[in-house]
């Protein structure tokens, strides 16, 4: 596997967005080595000043950046949308950078590993030079951090998921819109609905991604296609229903699992207790289980409501509920964890 210079020269593309700012915070928190840092932003955000390790930095424009000017960058972390990634990620790679992309642009590209370090780190082993690595979708990351240890030990044959996705999954502007609607409600003022085209506060609605002829939206299909790719399985059966809920950050998911063999609640709890990136929150007596407010700002996927599923015969079914911070583990943290493996 290739190695980055230590310390590397790092670029963040989409530095002023919710995920870009979280990447900066995580680089500081984890003391990620950085020789120098360059920040790129959309035209409306060019010139924005951001502080990193007590140094004020100015966001640059991509549009006027020549290939030769990219050659000094060793690591490029992208969180600027699919269109920007498709145009610019190959340019950074071709100039010599390792690229970790948070968009959907390369998730189905067989030349680009799709990676969650707790799930399939071996997918990085074949990289011996500059490359593009894809971050999976946020709901897939959170689910597989929790379910993969069970799959390895027991074999997951079927997963039925219902996701409850926060505004953070649609970016900083969606979070601002939800907050503005709360203020508008308190002031008895009209709601701003430019992002979702409907009232978000006190509402739940189908995920705002495109719906195909089969009735499934893109978010639901990603959970199937990305899981199959990372598990290297064409047979696991997955069905999902994804909705938006009026929480600011941290997604929740209800998962029903069907296993290849009989298991027990005790075995499942033991496997989850030793799973990296998982923290069990399951206090039946106090009725305390994973909640978005508790997951927000944290790195772990919180897992609870662990119980057998009596609708699956022969002790082969279980149900659980999880919450995880979409901006962190569902996006920024996962990208940086990938980068850390190359140091």
The domain spans of the chain are 9-135, 140-166+205-244+247-326
How far apart are alpha carbons 29 and 162 in whole angstroms? 32
Same fold, 9-135 and 140-166+205-244+247-326: no
- The pLDDT of residue 67: 64
Q: What is the model's pLDDT at position 65?
A: 78
pTM of the model: 0.96
- Residue pointed to by tokens 């010139």: 47
Find residue 341's DSSP bridge partners.
Answer: none
Pairing of strands 55-58, 60-61: unpaired
Q: Kindly name the residue from 59, 112, 207, 251 that is annotated as catalytic.
A: 251
Tokens of 190: 């009209």
Tokens, residue 57: 């930095």
CATH of domain 9-135: 3.40.50.720
Q: What pLDDT score does 63 carry? A: 85
Of the residues 112, 138, 242, 323, only one is catalytic, namely 138
CATH class of domain segment(s) 140-166+205-244+247-326 = alpha beta
Q: DSSP letters of 264-297?
A: -HHHHHHHHHTSTTEEE--BTTTTB---HHHHTT
Nearest one of 278, 236, 239 to 260, comparing CA atoms: 236
Q: Which pLDDT value is given to residue 64? A: 75
Q: What is the pLDDT of residues 234-271, one digit of tens each?
A: 999 999 999 999 999 999 999 999 999 999 999 999 99
Series of mean pLDDT values for 10-residue runs along the chain (343 residues): 95 96 97 97 93 96 80 96 96 97 97 98 96 98 98 98 96 95 98 97 96 95 97 97 97 98 98 98 98 98 98 98 97 98 97
Q: 138 an active-site residue? A: yes
Please list the alpha-helical segments (H only) found in the chain.
Answer: 18-29, 67-70, 82-94, 138-154, 172-186, 218-231, 265-273, 292-295, 333-340
Q: 166-184, pLDDT tens digit by residue?
A: 999 998 899 999 999 999 9
Query: Is there a catalytic annotation at residue 251?
Result: yes
């Amino acid at each position: 596997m290739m190695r980055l210079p230590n310390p590397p020269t790092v670029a963040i593309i989409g530095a002023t967005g919710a995920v870009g700012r979280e990447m900066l915070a995580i680089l500081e928190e984890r003391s990620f080595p950085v020789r120098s840092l360059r920040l790129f932003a959309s035209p409306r955000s060019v010139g924005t000043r951001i502080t990193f390790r007590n140094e004020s930095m100015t966001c640059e424009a991509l549009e006027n950046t020549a290939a030769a000017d990219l050659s000094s960058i060793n690591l490029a972390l992208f969180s600027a949308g699919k269109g920007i990634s498709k145009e610019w990620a190959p340019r950074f790679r071709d100039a010599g950078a390792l690229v970790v992309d948070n968009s959907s642009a390369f998730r189905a590209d067989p030349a680009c590993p799709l990676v969650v370090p707790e799930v399939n780190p071996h997918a990085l082993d074949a990289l011996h030079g500059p490359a593009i690595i894809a971050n999976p979708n946020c709901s897939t990351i959170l689910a597989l951090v929790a379910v993969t240890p069970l799959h390895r030990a027991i074999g997951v044959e079927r997963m039925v998921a219902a996701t409850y996705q926060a505004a953070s999954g649609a970016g900083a502007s969606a979070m601002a819109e939800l907050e503005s609607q709360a203020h508008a409600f308190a002031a008895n003022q009209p709601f701003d609905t430019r992002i979702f085209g409907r009232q978000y506060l006190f509402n739940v609605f189908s995920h705002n991604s495109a719906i195909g002829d089969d009735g499934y939206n893109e978010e639901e299909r990603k959970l199937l296609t990305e899981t199959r790719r990372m598990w290297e399985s064409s047979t696991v059966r997955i069905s999902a229903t994804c909705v938006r809920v009026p929480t600011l950050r941290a997604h929740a998911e209800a998962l029903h699992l069907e296993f290849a063999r009989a298991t027990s609640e005790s075995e499942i709890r033991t496997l989850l207790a030793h799973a990296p990136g998982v923290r069990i929150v399951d206090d039946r007596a106090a009725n305390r289980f994973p909640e978005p407010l508790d997951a927000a700002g944290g790195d772990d996927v919180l897992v609870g409501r662990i119980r057998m599923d009596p609708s699956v015969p022969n002790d082969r079914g279980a149900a659980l509920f999880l919450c995880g911070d979409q901006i962190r583990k569902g996006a920024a943290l996962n990208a940086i964890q990938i980068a850390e493996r190359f140091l």
